[in-house]
Structure 1
Amino acid sequence: MRAGSDRRAMDGDESGGRAPVVIVRPTTNVTSGVAVTQKLVRAAVAFGDLIRGTFGPNGLDKMLYKSNGETAVTNDGARIVSDLMVKHPAAKTFVSMAETQENACGDGVTGCLIFAAELMREGGRLLERSLHPLTLVEGYREAADITLATAEARSQDATEADAARWIDVALTAMTGTSAEAGGVDLASLVVDAAMLVQRTAGTDPLSYERIRMAKRGSGDLGQSRLISGLILDQRLALDRQARLLNDVKVAVLTRPLTLQKGVRDTEIEVNDVDQLESFMAAEDALLDAHATSVINSGARLIVCAKEVEPRVLHRLVDAGCVVLADVGRDGADDLADVTGATLCEHLDDLDAGALGHLDRFSVETLEGEDGRRERLMFEHANSKLACIDVAGSAGTATEEVIRGLFDALRSVIGGMDSGRLLLGGGSLHVAAASAVREAAEASSGRRRLAMEAYARALEAVPGALIENAGGNRLDVLMDLRAAHRAGHADEGVTPAGINGTITQAWANAETLEHAVVVSTEAVCGLLRIDQVISARGD
């Protein structure tokens, strides 16, 4: 149906001499039928083609030049998608899908987008051949169920004690990113950090948020290290404070160490110097009482989320304390997790039982482009937080390394939480495609066409790995199909772009399963659209 006839249908019935009822503006453009689907398909395929070249160990980077003049070089799918300024409805759906995958799993965004784009391409071809959209959606959903069942059957259990397997998971997630240059050393740091917070978390759920990344801004990547504790980029207020404390008690305050401010504005009239001196002496006495309460608690490291009055600061430093002011509530919460201290809102609550403990507190001084900067190191063997100190330059290169490490961390933490892993290298997708084809052969009706299209879309993921490695997509996919039919379930695409046995590429099973679910649902939602009404006229 043409756009003009659609608009007239919406305006009203012109037969029988009745005047049309206008319900939309004349500039409104209405597109229906196959034309709608093809517009959505073209946008989705363009999105997939844009990101396809970044996929896998041989993926290349994209240079993003932003409207504000900033540039970034990355091959991280989530980063590319988040920085794109898209306006097409289908592209916006893909952006939302990528955000869902990133938020849920922290990895697998690129593969998810490639698979979804191929589902749209295959669906568009079938709709051109007059396959009903609902039949297509039913076939896709049935094929998705078969894919998930295949993933469940192929997944392998993994325990926290299998460190070598978790290192493989981290390396797989880091492959193709800037973090890959760190190799096994960086992957080991990620696994050690995950195991550290798991040991100290107790009954709390294991969370990637308990592991922080710090950018040192000097050295090379091989000098990166793991800290059982926390690193803060903050300078001490007074240079004469101690730079190193061992076996120290810590107080964490969420209230300011200043004079209490009244709710109302107050004016005090002073008639002579003695009254002024008495007023100032009373202030000093109140501040001195604050300092005395803190000193008497036995803490030598004082962490305050808010402001510390200079007179209190000097009094505490004179007593041999180290004071950190204005760390914010989040910083106070983090340091309470590191030290085991109780957050104190009132000085009356500050006693020996509220104090935490640090094995070591130190101040690291570094020379950078902007001059000298200090980093505060809080180390404790039983800390609930861990920090990976990433060495390297202070520029965007290190930021991309941290992004790759974060993906690896999410994969490892997710795998430890689920206890299930799957082989990578496109092995699952080839096996699932074979299973879907077998089910399609046993199915009658047109839904079979949709299931076969789903199987072809699954093979787009190993196909992208082959193409990016410079291999022959058709030949390698045929070899993989034959290998899986012969019972070689561990066959996949190697980094060389050929088929081979996959032994070290492992991924969190829930990451791959979630990508299948979110891709299928997003595509089914788009394929059900039969009309686009644009008020802009485009």
Structure 2
Amino acid sequence: MSQPNDGSGRAPVAIVRPTTSVTSGVAVTQKLVSASVAFGNLLKGTFGPNGLDKMLYKTNGETAVTNDGAKIVAELLVKHPAAKAFVQLAKSQENACGDGVTGCLIFASELMRESGVLLEKGLHPLILVNGFREAMDKTIQVLMNHADVVNITDEGILQSVARTAMTGTSVESVGKQLADIVVKAAIHVAKQNDNYYSVNIEQVRMAKKGIGSLSDTTLIEGVIIDKNLDLERLPRNLSAGKVVVFSCPLEIEKTSYDSEIEISTTEQWVSFMDAEETILENKAQSIIDSGASMVFCAETIDSKILHRLADNDIFALASIDKAGAEDVALATGALMIDHIDGIDENTLGSYESMAVESYDSDEGRRDRLYLNVGASSGLTTIDVCGAGGVASEEFVRGIYDALNSVASSIESGSVLVGGGNAHITAALAMREHAESIAGRERLAIEAFARALEAVPATLIANSGNNLLDGLLELRSMVRNNLPGSGIDAEGKPMQLTDVWECSDTILHGLEAACETACGLLRVDQVISARGD
């Protein structure tokens, strides 16, 4: 890019490389709008209960089949600035709420589409930005007034939130059963602070069983460890008892430096071996005297200690990964011990029952340990059954979305009717609000309303029903104050009685989409060093 020739006879001054391309004016808008619309169209077909899946073929040869918006966006290799902005938008929504990514991106895409039409007619970008932000503020007020209060004891509504989040996913077929599991898991890890609840979903583990059907999925108030036993004669079933967790190896301690011991007689050799036996015996006896009936170790356990513990009906599992040991400690209330001398009653955890199940797999025998701690457990585990591989990953994603939605509902304490009800309600309110605006911002607010309607419109279109008829009927139902008006699973406008969504998920999606669109609209020039 260089300065234009002003007739002074001076040579133009180049400030960028000759290969750099600069796009300005209407061309910039067209590029950003086109990319945004293309991004939205990519995800529209996956939205709602009748959404279809995308098959993703990765560069490493792996495949994934999913309709989860966050997963699809995460796998895309994009280079367009607008597309990258949408990828960041998806990450923001996923990190904040864990659900609602597809609806968020569809709304942002429609905002850009509507903006493109108005910009071509000569409307200034800042007028659009101001209008969108005013409409967004008004939308928040409208939806907060329409939100219903939900408490942690309202398990029926929370289960509906979970089922709504799982709608259209591969786990929808057993949504009712899984919703009950998800709600119980979220309630179990919820912590009350005055009148506020915080739900740390990191304390809910997902274990993939890899066999059975999805309907066999269960909730364990404790942990599941997938590891073969170190000794066949270890107890496989235990009732209530104490647990000790070691982060150090249970064996003869090795010296830091190489050393040699000179043994000249048989008696010295026997004495040396007896000393080692005594050390190992003392370690085993310390565990036995502690009263623990289960031992978990993140390092190795000497075979002699293992056999000594087994002789006393004490279960021991060695070489579990550090994360697994930490999970056992968190679940049972035990403290991680880094030396055998650290055992006392304050470091022990407790459990209600333990069972080991064995299965035959392609890799041979497989042992799984189920440690049930009970209501006092510091974490819970959802044991996801069903086929392994790609299908199992999709099951976990569906359950994870539901868990996030339920957790957000408990924390925010409010829900909104699903099926596009919130969007159509806000859209009608924006149209009424636009009537009171005399300036050009009115056009932006009306465009905002049309973009909101894209969400229920997509639900109708994906079901194969007539888009215009369905949207007009839904508008009429909301205007006539029919409660719970929305698009049902068959894509028809109905009064929904059991379809709820977390209000924070919807509001964050709308706000994030609006800010992304406003950020793109403020761009008046695209400078590409690659020349494309």
Do the aligned partners of residues 259 and 22 (structure 1) sit closer, same or farther apart at CA in structure 2, a change above 3 Å counting?
Answer: farther
SS in 2 for 1:124: helix
Corresponding residue to 1:8 among 2, 9, 16: 2
Corresponding residue to 1:527 among 511, 521, 527: 521
Q: What code does the residue aligned with 2:336 have?
A: L
Q: What code does the residue aligned with 1:113 have?
A: L
1:49 aligns with 2:24: no
1:222 aligns with 2:250: no
Corresponding residue to 1:87 among 75, 79, 96: 79
Q: 1 CA distance for matches of 2:303 and 2:78?
A: 51
In the other structure, the counterpart of 2:156 is: 164
Offset at residue 200 of structure 1 (A)? 10
Q: 2 CA distance for matches of 1:276 and 1:87?
A: 71
1:497 aligns with 2:494: no
In the other structure, the counterpart of 1:341 is: 334
In the other structure, the counterpart of 1:3 is: none
How many residues are paired up? 529
Contact 2:298 2:321 in 1 (8 A): yes
Corresponding residue to 2:245 among 224, 246, 252: 252
Q: 1 CA distance for matches of 2:438 and 2:264?
A: 102
Deviations 1:131-150 (CA, angstroms, capped at 9, x unpaired): 11111111111111111111
Contact 2:177 2:215 in 1 (8 A): yes
Aligned counterparts, 1:265-414, within 5 A: 265-268=257-260, 270=262, 272=264, 274=266, 278-381=271-374, 382-414=376-408
Q: 2 CA distance for matches of 1:67 and 1:96?
A: 21
TM-score (norm 2): 0.95
Do the aligned partners of residues 461 and 285 (structure 1) sit closer, same or farther apart at CA in structure 2, a change above 3 Å counting?
Answer: same
Contact 1:253 1:305 in 2 (8 A): yes
Q: 2 CA distance for matches of 1:287 and 1:380?
A: 30
In the other structure, the counterpart of 1:4 is: none
Q: 2 CA distance for matches of 1:443 and 1:479?
A: 27
Offset at residue 278 of structure 1 (A)? 5.0
Contact 1:313 1:323 in 2 (8 A): yes
Contact 1:270 1:276 in 2 (8 A): no
In the other structure, the counterpart of 2:501 is: 507
Contact 2:197 2:410 in 1 (8 A): no
1:137 aligns with 2:100: no
SS in 1 for 2:8: helix
Corresponding residue to 1:486 among 480, 484, 504: 480
Corresponding residue to 2:424 among 409, 425, 430: 430
Contact 2:191 2:197 in 1 (8 A): no
Q: 2 CA distance for matches of 1:432 and 1:489?
A: 14
1:469 aligns with 2:498: no
1:537 aligns with 2:526: no
Contact 2:2 2:15 in 1 (8 A): no
Q: 2 CA distance for matches of 1:373 and 1:326?
A: 16
In the other structure, the counterpart of 1:231 is: 224
Deviations 1:147-184 (CA, angstroms, capped at 9, x unpaired): 11111011000112222211111111111001101131
Contact 1:200 1:384 in 2 (8 A): no
Corresponding residue to 1:66 among 44, 58, 67: 58
Deviations 1:365-420 (CA, angstroms, capped at 9, x unpaired): 11223322111100021212222222212232232122111111111111111110
SS in 2 for 1:524: helix
Q: Which moved more, 1:69-78 or 1:385-394?
A: 385-394
1:28 aligns with 2:27: no
Corresponding residue to 1:241 among 230, 234, 237: 234
Q: What code does the residue aligned with 1:69 have?
A: G
TM-score (norm 1): 0.94
Q: What code does the residue aligned with 2:521 have?
A: L
Q: 1 CA distance for matches of 2:75 and 2:209?
A: 26
Q: 2 CA distance for matches of 1:321 and 1:193?
A: 30
Q: 1 CA distance for matches of 2:199 and 2:509?
A: 22
Contact 1:360 1:378 in 2 (8 A): yes
Q: 2 CA distance for matches of 1:271 and 1:196?
A: 60
SS in 1 for 2:354: strand
Q: 1 CA distance for matches of 2:404 and 2:276?
A: 51
Q: What code does the residue aligned with 1:484 have?
A: V
Where does structure 1 lack aligned partners over 5 or more consecutive residues? 1-6
SS in 1 for 2:478: helix
Offset at residue 289 of structure 1 (A)? 2.9
Q: 2 CA distance for matches of 1:369 and 1:267?
A: 45
SS in 1 for 2:445: helix
Contact 1:217 1:368 in 2 (8 A): no
Deviations 1:114-133 (CA, angstroms, capped at 9, x unpaired): 11111111111111122111
Do the aligned partners of residues 32 and 283 (structure 1) sit closer, same or farther apart at CA in structure 2, a change above 3 Å counting?
Answer: farther
Offset at residue 345 of structure 1 (A)? 2.5
Q: What code does the residue aligned with 1:371 have?
A: G
Contact 2:333 2:348 in 1 (8 A): yes
SS in 2 for 1:55: coil
1:516 aligns with 2:519: no
Offset at residue 195 of structure 1 (A)? 2.6
Where does structure 2 lack aligned partners over 5 or more consecutive residues? none
1:114 aligns with 2:128: no
Q: Which moved more, 1:395-404 or 1:129-138?
A: 395-404
Q: 1 CA distance for matches of 2:110 and 2:273?
A: 76
Q: 2 CA distance for matches of 1:390 and 1:358?
A: 22
Deviations 1:332-363 (CA, angstroms, capped at 9, x unpaired): 22112221212222333211222111111111
Contact 1:139 1:447 in 2 (8 A): yes
Corresponding residue to 2:410 among 416, 430, 442: 416
In the other structure, the counterpart of 2:206 is: 213
Q: Which moved more, 1:419-428 or 1:435-444?
A: 435-444
Q: 1 CA distance for matches of 2:380 and 2:204?
A: 5
Contact 2:192 2:198 in 1 (8 A): no
SS in 1 for 2:382: strand
Q: What code does the residue aligned with 1:184 have?
A: K
1:191 aligns with 2:183: yes
Deviations 1:20-42 (CA, angstroms, capped at 9, x unpaired): 33221111111111111111111
Q: 2 CA distance for matches of 1:146 and 1:29?
A: 40
